[in-house]
A = this chain, B = another copy of it.
Amino acid sequence: MKKYEEIYTDIKNKIINGDYSATAQLPFEKDLCEAYTTSKMTVKRALDLLVDEGLIIKRRGSGTFVKDLSQKEINRITQLNQLNGFTATYDKDGNKVTSKILDFDVIQADDIVMDKLNLKPGSFVYTIYRLRYINDKPVVLEKTAMPIERVPGLEQTHLENSIYHYLKEDLDLTIQSAHRQYTVKKADEDEALQLDIEKDDPVAVTEQITYLDTGETIEYGITKSRADMFIAETIVTK
Which A residues are within 8 Å of any B CB, using their own CB? Answer: 22-23, 41, 54, 56-57, 59, 65-70, 72-73, 76-77, 82-83, 115-118, 174-186, 200-204, 209, 211, 213-217, 225, 227, 230-238
11 residue pairs A–B, Cβ–Cβ below 8 Å = A54-B177, A67-B215, A68-B117, A68-B215, A73-B116, A179-B233, A181-B232, A182-B231, A184-B202, A184-B227, A185-B227
> Is B83's CB under 8 angstroms from A179's CB?
no
Across the interface, A216 reaches (CB within 8 A) one of B68, B118, B237, namely B68
Which residues in B have their C-beta under 8 angstroms from that of A175?
238
Which residues in B have their C-beta under 8 angstroms from that of A182?
182, 204, 230-234
Chain B CB within 10 Å — which of A22, A211, A213 has the most? A211
Alpha-carbon distance between A217 and B72 when the two chains are bound, in angstroms: 14
A150 to chain B, nearest CB (A): 10
A166 to chain B, nearest CB (A): 18
